[in-house]
Amino acid sequence: MDRTLDHPLITSPRQTLFWLGSAFYCFFYPSLIGFFSHALPRAFSEPTLASISLCALTSLAVFACFPVGAFLLANRRLDHAASAKMRAMAHLLMVLPALNTLVFVVSYMTASLNAAPYVWITVTAALLGLITQLSASPAAAAVSPAMRVFHGVLATVFIGGFFLLHWANHLTALWSSNTHGIAQDFFRRWYQSPWVEPVLLIVCALLLLTGVYLSGRYLRRDTDKYKRWQSASGCYLGVFFCAHLIAVLMTRARGGETDWAFATGEQGLIHGFQFLIPYYAFALLAFSLHASLGLRQVLLNHTNTHSHATLAGRIAATSGYVLTALVMLAALGFSFQPLEGSSL
Protein backbone atom coordinates (compact mmCIF):
# COMPACT_ATOMS: atom_id res chain seq x y z
CA MET A 1 0.00 0.00 0.00
CA ASP A 2 1.24 3.49 -0.82
CA ARG A 3 2.08 5.37 2.32
CA THR A 4 2.01 9.17 2.16
CA LEU A 5 4.14 11.05 4.64
CA ASP A 6 3.07 14.58 5.41
CA HIS A 7 5.11 16.06 8.23
CA PRO A 8 4.29 19.58 9.45
CA LEU A 9 6.34 22.37 7.98
CA ILE A 10 7.31 23.91 11.33
CA THR A 11 7.89 21.90 14.49
CA SER A 12 10.18 24.21 16.51
CA PRO A 13 11.13 27.90 16.90
CA ARG A 14 14.40 27.12 15.10
CA GLN A 15 12.50 25.88 12.07
CA THR A 16 10.26 28.94 12.20
CA LEU A 17 13.36 31.13 11.96
CA PHE A 18 14.72 29.02 9.09
CA TRP A 19 11.56 29.15 6.99
CA LEU A 20 10.92 32.85 7.57
CA GLY A 21 14.56 33.70 6.87
CA SER A 22 14.65 31.55 3.73
CA ALA A 23 11.41 33.02 2.41
CA PHE A 24 12.62 36.58 3.03
CA TYR A 25 15.95 35.80 1.33
CA CYS A 26 14.18 34.39 -1.72
CA PHE A 27 11.88 37.39 -2.11
CA PHE A 28 14.74 39.84 -1.55
CA TYR A 29 17.31 38.10 -3.78
CA PRO A 30 16.93 40.37 -6.86
CA SER A 31 17.54 43.39 -4.62
CA LEU A 32 20.69 41.76 -3.27
CA ILE A 33 21.82 41.25 -6.87
CA GLY A 34 21.17 44.94 -7.49
CA PHE A 35 23.27 46.01 -4.49
CA PHE A 36 26.03 43.66 -5.62
CA SER A 37 25.94 45.04 -9.17
CA HIS A 38 26.54 48.56 -7.88
CA ALA A 39 29.12 47.65 -5.24
CA LEU A 40 31.42 45.49 -7.37
CA PRO A 41 32.53 47.98 -10.07
CA ARG A 42 32.83 50.72 -7.46
CA ALA A 43 35.21 48.55 -5.42
CA PHE A 44 37.45 48.27 -8.49
CA SER A 45 37.24 51.90 -9.60
CA GLU A 46 37.36 53.42 -6.08
CA PRO A 47 39.07 50.86 -3.82
CA THR A 48 38.38 52.33 -0.40
CA LEU A 49 37.74 50.41 2.81
CA ALA A 50 34.05 51.29 2.63
CA SER A 51 33.61 50.24 -1.02
CA ILE A 52 35.55 47.01 -0.56
CA SER A 53 33.63 46.13 2.62
CA LEU A 54 30.30 46.79 0.90
CA CYS A 55 31.38 44.66 -2.06
CA ALA A 56 32.41 41.83 0.26
CA LEU A 57 29.11 41.92 2.17
CA THR A 58 26.92 42.01 -0.93
CA SER A 59 29.02 39.27 -2.55
CA LEU A 60 28.55 37.08 0.50
CA ALA A 61 24.80 37.68 0.43
CA VAL A 62 24.49 36.95 -3.30
CA PHE A 63 26.76 33.91 -3.45
CA ALA A 64 25.56 32.26 -0.20
CA CYS A 65 22.45 30.64 -1.72
CA PHE A 66 24.15 27.84 -3.67
CA PRO A 67 26.59 26.60 -0.98
CA VAL A 68 23.98 26.95 1.77
CA GLY A 69 21.52 24.87 -0.25
CA ALA A 70 24.21 22.26 -0.94
CA PHE A 71 25.13 22.20 2.76
CA LEU A 72 21.51 21.61 3.74
CA LEU A 73 21.19 18.76 1.25
CA ALA A 74 24.26 17.06 2.76
CA ASN A 75 22.47 16.64 6.11
CA ARG A 76 21.71 12.97 6.79
CA ARG A 77 18.42 13.97 8.40
CA LEU A 78 17.20 14.62 4.87
CA ASP A 79 17.76 11.00 3.83
CA HIS A 80 14.21 10.11 4.80
CA ALA A 81 11.37 10.92 2.43
CA ALA A 82 9.56 12.84 5.16
CA SER A 83 12.04 15.69 4.66
CA ALA A 84 10.66 16.49 1.19
CA LYS A 85 9.76 20.09 2.10
CA MET A 86 13.23 20.86 3.45
CA ARG A 87 14.85 19.30 0.38
CA ALA A 88 12.67 21.40 -1.91
CA MET A 89 13.59 24.57 -0.03
CA ALA A 90 17.28 23.73 -0.43
CA HIS A 91 16.70 23.18 -4.16
CA LEU A 92 15.05 26.59 -4.44
CA LEU A 93 17.93 28.30 -2.63
CA MET A 94 20.43 26.73 -5.02
CA VAL A 95 18.61 27.79 -8.19
CA LEU A 96 17.94 31.42 -7.18
CA PRO A 97 20.66 32.98 -9.42
CA ALA A 98 19.40 31.13 -12.50
CA LEU A 99 15.75 31.80 -11.66
CA ASN A 100 16.44 35.50 -11.18
CA THR A 101 18.15 35.68 -14.57
CA LEU A 102 15.32 33.76 -16.24
CA VAL A 103 12.77 36.28 -14.95
CA PHE A 104 15.00 39.15 -16.10
CA VAL A 105 15.56 37.65 -19.56
CA VAL A 106 11.87 37.02 -20.16
CA SER A 107 10.99 40.50 -18.92
CA TYR A 108 13.69 42.12 -21.04
CA MET A 109 12.85 40.19 -24.20
CA THR A 110 9.16 41.04 -23.83
CA ALA A 111 9.90 44.73 -23.11
CA SER A 112 8.32 44.50 -19.66
CA LEU A 113 11.25 45.13 -17.31
CA ASN A 114 9.07 47.30 -15.07
CA ALA A 115 6.97 44.25 -14.31
CA ALA A 116 9.98 42.07 -13.40
CA PRO A 117 9.76 42.69 -9.62
CA TYR A 118 6.09 41.70 -9.59
CA VAL A 119 6.80 38.61 -11.69
CA TRP A 120 9.54 37.64 -9.25
CA ILE A 121 7.26 38.04 -6.24
CA THR A 122 4.56 35.99 -7.95
CA VAL A 123 6.91 33.19 -9.04
CA THR A 124 8.61 33.03 -5.63
CA ALA A 125 5.30 32.98 -3.78
CA ALA A 126 4.02 30.21 -6.05
CA LEU A 127 7.13 28.09 -5.53
CA LEU A 128 7.06 28.57 -1.76
CA GLY A 129 3.40 27.65 -1.78
CA LEU A 130 4.13 24.46 -3.71
CA ILE A 131 6.86 23.59 -1.20
CA THR A 132 4.47 23.90 1.72
CA GLN A 133 2.07 21.51 -0.04
CA LEU A 134 4.72 18.95 -0.96
CA SER A 135 4.31 15.53 0.61
CA ALA A 136 6.44 12.40 0.44
CA SER A 137 5.19 9.19 -1.14
CA PRO A 138 8.11 6.76 -1.43
CA ALA A 139 6.28 3.93 -3.18
CA ALA A 140 4.69 6.16 -5.79
CA ALA A 141 7.91 8.10 -6.30
CA ALA A 142 10.06 5.18 -7.41
CA VAL A 143 12.52 6.21 -10.11
CA SER A 144 12.28 4.45 -13.45
CA PRO A 145 15.68 2.89 -14.35
CA ALA A 146 14.85 3.24 -18.04
CA MET A 147 14.20 6.95 -17.64
CA ARG A 148 17.43 7.39 -15.71
CA VAL A 149 19.42 5.63 -18.44
CA PHE A 150 17.64 7.63 -21.16
CA HIS A 151 18.50 10.87 -19.35
CA GLY A 152 22.12 9.78 -19.06
CA VAL A 153 22.38 8.95 -22.75
CA LEU A 154 20.89 12.32 -23.68
CA ALA A 155 23.32 14.06 -21.34
CA THR A 156 26.28 12.25 -22.92
CA VAL A 157 25.18 13.36 -26.39
CA PHE A 158 24.67 16.95 -25.26
CA ILE A 159 27.94 17.15 -23.35
CA GLY A 160 30.02 15.63 -26.14
CA GLY A 161 28.21 17.33 -28.99
CA PHE A 162 28.04 20.82 -27.54
CA PHE A 163 28.84 21.62 -23.93
CA LEU A 164 32.50 20.61 -23.77
CA LEU A 165 33.18 22.37 -27.08
CA HIS A 166 31.40 25.49 -25.83
CA TRP A 167 33.35 25.37 -22.57
CA ALA A 168 36.65 24.96 -24.44
CA ASN A 169 35.66 27.94 -26.58
CA HIS A 170 35.17 30.08 -23.46
CA LEU A 171 38.54 28.97 -22.09
CA THR A 172 40.24 30.54 -25.10
CA ALA A 173 38.91 33.94 -23.98
CA LEU A 174 41.44 33.77 -21.16
CA TRP A 175 44.05 34.46 -23.83
CA SER A 176 42.08 37.13 -25.69
CA SER A 177 38.61 37.92 -26.99
CA ASN A 178 39.97 37.69 -30.54
CA THR A 179 41.13 34.13 -29.90
CA HIS A 180 37.70 33.35 -28.52
CA GLY A 181 36.11 34.71 -31.69
CA ILE A 182 38.30 32.52 -33.91
CA ALA A 183 37.53 29.43 -31.86
CA GLN A 184 33.83 30.31 -31.82
CA ASP A 185 33.67 30.52 -35.60
CA PHE A 186 35.38 27.13 -35.83
CA PHE A 187 33.12 25.34 -33.32
CA ARG A 188 29.98 26.91 -34.74
CA ARG A 189 30.58 25.07 -37.99
CA TRP A 190 29.61 21.98 -36.02
CA TYR A 191 26.98 22.83 -33.43
CA GLN A 192 25.23 25.56 -35.43
CA SER A 193 25.11 23.55 -38.64
CA PRO A 194 21.57 23.06 -40.04
CA TRP A 195 21.50 19.34 -39.20
CA VAL A 196 23.23 19.43 -35.78
CA GLU A 197 21.65 22.43 -34.05
CA PRO A 198 18.02 21.15 -34.25
CA VAL A 199 19.14 17.80 -32.83
CA LEU A 200 20.94 19.51 -29.95
CA LEU A 201 17.87 21.66 -29.19
CA ILE A 202 15.65 18.56 -29.14
CA VAL A 203 18.13 16.78 -26.88
CA CYS A 204 18.18 19.79 -24.56
CA ALA A 205 14.38 19.84 -24.39
CA LEU A 206 14.27 16.11 -23.61
CA LEU A 207 16.91 16.59 -20.93
CA LEU A 208 14.71 19.23 -19.30
CA LEU A 209 11.62 17.03 -19.40
CA THR A 210 13.33 13.90 -18.10
CA GLY A 211 15.20 15.96 -15.52
CA VAL A 212 11.94 17.34 -14.14
CA TYR A 213 10.62 13.79 -13.86
CA LEU A 214 13.72 12.50 -12.05
CA SER A 215 14.02 15.47 -9.68
CA GLY A 216 10.34 15.18 -8.80
CA ARG A 217 10.83 11.56 -7.84
CA TYR A 218 14.02 12.14 -5.86
CA LEU A 219 12.38 14.94 -3.89
CA ARG A 220 9.72 12.56 -2.55
CA ARG A 221 11.59 9.36 -1.75
CA ASP A 222 14.43 8.16 0.47
CA THR A 223 17.76 9.33 -0.98
CA ASP A 224 21.35 10.02 -0.02
CA LYS A 225 23.23 13.31 -0.31
CA TYR A 226 24.69 12.39 -3.70
CA LYS A 227 21.28 11.99 -5.32
CA ARG A 228 20.05 15.18 -3.69
CA TRP A 229 23.07 17.11 -4.96
CA GLN A 230 22.56 15.66 -8.42
CA SER A 231 18.89 16.61 -8.37
CA ALA A 232 19.54 20.18 -7.19
CA SER A 233 22.42 20.80 -9.63
CA GLY A 234 20.23 19.41 -12.41
CA CYS A 235 17.46 21.83 -11.46
CA TYR A 236 19.93 24.71 -11.67
CA LEU A 237 21.06 23.60 -15.11
CA GLY A 238 17.46 23.28 -16.28
CA VAL A 239 16.59 26.84 -15.28
CA PHE A 240 19.93 28.09 -16.62
CA PHE A 241 19.41 26.57 -20.05
CA CYS A 242 15.89 27.98 -20.24
CA ALA A 243 17.22 31.48 -19.58
CA HIS A 244 20.25 31.04 -21.83
CA LEU A 245 18.37 29.60 -24.78
CA ILE A 246 15.65 32.25 -24.62
CA ALA A 247 18.26 35.02 -24.62
CA VAL A 248 20.36 33.49 -27.40
CA LEU A 249 17.57 32.40 -29.74
CA MET A 250 15.57 35.60 -29.42
CA THR A 251 18.67 37.74 -29.93
CA ARG A 252 19.59 35.74 -33.03
CA ALA A 253 16.01 36.01 -34.30
CA ARG A 254 16.30 39.79 -34.04
CA GLY A 255 19.54 39.77 -36.03
CA GLY A 256 21.86 40.27 -33.05
CA GLU A 257 25.24 38.62 -32.52
CA THR A 258 25.60 36.19 -29.60
CA ASP A 259 29.37 36.46 -29.22
CA TRP A 260 31.60 36.95 -26.18
CA ALA A 261 30.64 40.61 -25.83
CA PHE A 262 26.97 39.60 -25.83
CA ALA A 263 27.61 37.26 -22.89
CA THR A 264 29.99 39.36 -20.79
CA GLY A 265 30.03 42.93 -22.08
CA GLU A 266 32.90 44.67 -23.84
CA GLN A 267 35.20 44.72 -20.81
CA GLY A 268 34.01 41.71 -18.86
CA LEU A 269 31.27 41.09 -16.34
CA ILE A 270 32.81 43.34 -13.68
CA HIS A 271 32.25 46.41 -15.84
CA GLY A 272 29.35 45.01 -17.81
CA PHE A 273 26.69 42.61 -16.58
CA GLN A 274 27.58 42.12 -12.92
CA PHE A 275 24.30 40.40 -12.11
CA LEU A 276 25.32 37.54 -14.40
CA ILE A 277 28.43 36.64 -12.38
CA PRO A 278 26.71 34.24 -9.93
CA TYR A 279 24.47 32.99 -12.74
CA TYR A 280 27.42 31.89 -14.88
CA ALA A 281 29.67 30.75 -12.04
CA PHE A 282 27.07 28.49 -10.45
CA ALA A 283 26.04 27.14 -13.87
CA LEU A 284 29.55 25.81 -14.45
CA LEU A 285 29.80 24.54 -10.88
CA ALA A 286 26.41 22.86 -11.19
CA PHE A 287 27.46 21.21 -14.44
CA SER A 288 30.68 19.94 -12.86
CA LEU A 289 28.78 18.59 -9.87
CA HIS A 290 25.95 17.08 -11.92
CA ALA A 291 28.19 15.38 -14.47
CA SER A 292 30.61 14.03 -11.86
CA LEU A 293 27.76 12.57 -9.80
CA GLY A 294 26.34 11.01 -12.95
CA LEU A 295 29.74 9.43 -13.64
CA ARG A 296 29.88 8.17 -10.07
CA GLN A 297 26.45 6.56 -10.40
CA VAL A 298 27.34 4.87 -13.70
CA LEU A 299 30.49 3.41 -12.14
CA LEU A 300 28.51 2.21 -9.13
CA ASN A 301 25.97 0.51 -11.37
CA HIS A 302 28.62 -1.32 -13.39
CA THR A 303 31.47 -1.96 -10.92
CA ASN A 304 29.77 -1.79 -7.52
CA THR A 305 33.00 -0.38 -6.06
CA HIS A 306 31.90 2.51 -3.90
CA SER A 307 35.34 3.95 -3.07
CA HIS A 308 36.59 3.92 -6.67
CA ALA A 309 33.37 5.40 -8.03
CA THR A 310 33.38 8.18 -5.44
CA LEU A 311 37.05 8.94 -6.11
CA ALA A 312 36.44 9.17 -9.86
CA GLY A 313 33.50 11.47 -9.24
CA ARG A 314 35.58 13.72 -7.00
CA ILE A 315 38.39 13.93 -9.57
CA ALA A 316 35.90 14.83 -12.31
CA ALA A 317 34.21 17.45 -10.10
CA THR A 318 37.52 19.01 -9.04
CA SER A 319 38.64 19.24 -12.67
CA GLY A 320 35.38 20.99 -13.47
CA TYR A 321 35.83 23.43 -10.58
CA VAL A 322 39.32 24.37 -11.81
CA LEU A 323 38.02 24.94 -15.33
CA THR A 324 35.16 26.99 -13.88
CA ALA A 325 37.64 29.29 -12.15
CA LEU A 326 39.57 29.79 -15.40
CA VAL A 327 36.46 30.51 -17.47
CA MET A 328 35.16 32.93 -14.87
CA LEU A 329 38.47 34.81 -14.86
CA ALA A 330 38.01 35.33 -18.59
CA ALA A 331 34.35 36.27 -18.17
CA LEU A 332 35.21 38.85 -15.51
CA GLY A 333 37.52 40.56 -18.00
CA PHE A 334 40.92 39.13 -17.21
CA SER A 335 43.07 37.91 -20.10
CA PHE A 336 46.69 37.51 -21.13
CA GLN A 337 46.09 40.06 -23.88
CA PRO A 338 43.63 42.58 -22.42
CA LEU A 339 41.86 45.09 -24.59
CA GLU A 340 43.41 48.55 -24.86
CA GLY A 341 41.95 50.83 -22.26
CA SER A 342 40.82 47.98 -20.02
CA SER A 343 41.31 48.67 -16.33
CA LEU A 344 41.81 44.99 -15.54
Cβ-Cβ contacts under 8 Å for 135 (sequence gap 6 or more): 4, 5, 6, 84, 220
pLDDT value for 136: 66
Residue 260's domain comprises 13-332
Q: Is residue 205, in this structure, part of any structural domain at all?
A: yes
pLDDT value for 341: 41
Q: Is residue 344, in this structure, part of any structural domain at all?
A: no
Q: Is residue 341, in this structure, part of any structural domain at all?
A: no
Candidates 234, 217, 276; CA nearest to 94 is 234
Give the number of domains in the chain.
Answer: 1
How far apart CA 298 and CA 196 sit, in angstroms, is 27
Q: What are phi and psi of 342, to 5 degrees?
A: -70, 140
CA angle 182, 246, 335 (to 5 degrees): 35
pLDDT value for 89: 95
pLDDT value for 344: 40
Task: Find the Cα–Cα–Cα–Cα dihedral 114, 119, 121, 124, rounded to 10°.
Answer: -150
pLDDT value for 261: 86
SS3 content of the chain, % helix, strand, coil (to 5): 80, 0, 20
How many Cα neighbours within 13 Å face the side chain of 159? 16
pLDDT value for 205: 95
Q: Is residue 340, in this structure, part of any structural domain at all?
A: no
One digit per residue, the tens of pLDDT, for the chain of length 344 reads 344 455 556 566 788 888 999 999 999 999 999 999 999 999 988 899 999 999 999 999 999 999 999 999 999 988 887 788 999 999 999 999 999 999 999 999 888 999 999 999 999 999 999 998 887 665 555 677 888 889 999 999 999 999 999 999 999 999 888 899 999 999 999 988 999 999 999 999 999 999 999 888 888 888 889 999 999 999 999 999 999 999 999 999 888 888 888 888 888 898 888 999 999 999 999 999 999 999 998 888 887 678 888 899 999 999 999 999 999 999 998 887 755 444 34
Q: Is residue 338, in this structure, part of any structural domain at all?
A: no
Grouping H, G, I as helix, E, B as strand and the rest as coil, residue 272 is: coil
Candidates 281, 248, 246; CA nearest to 96 is 281
Q: Is residue 294, in this structure, part of any structural domain at all?
A: yes
What is the residue type of 190?
A: W
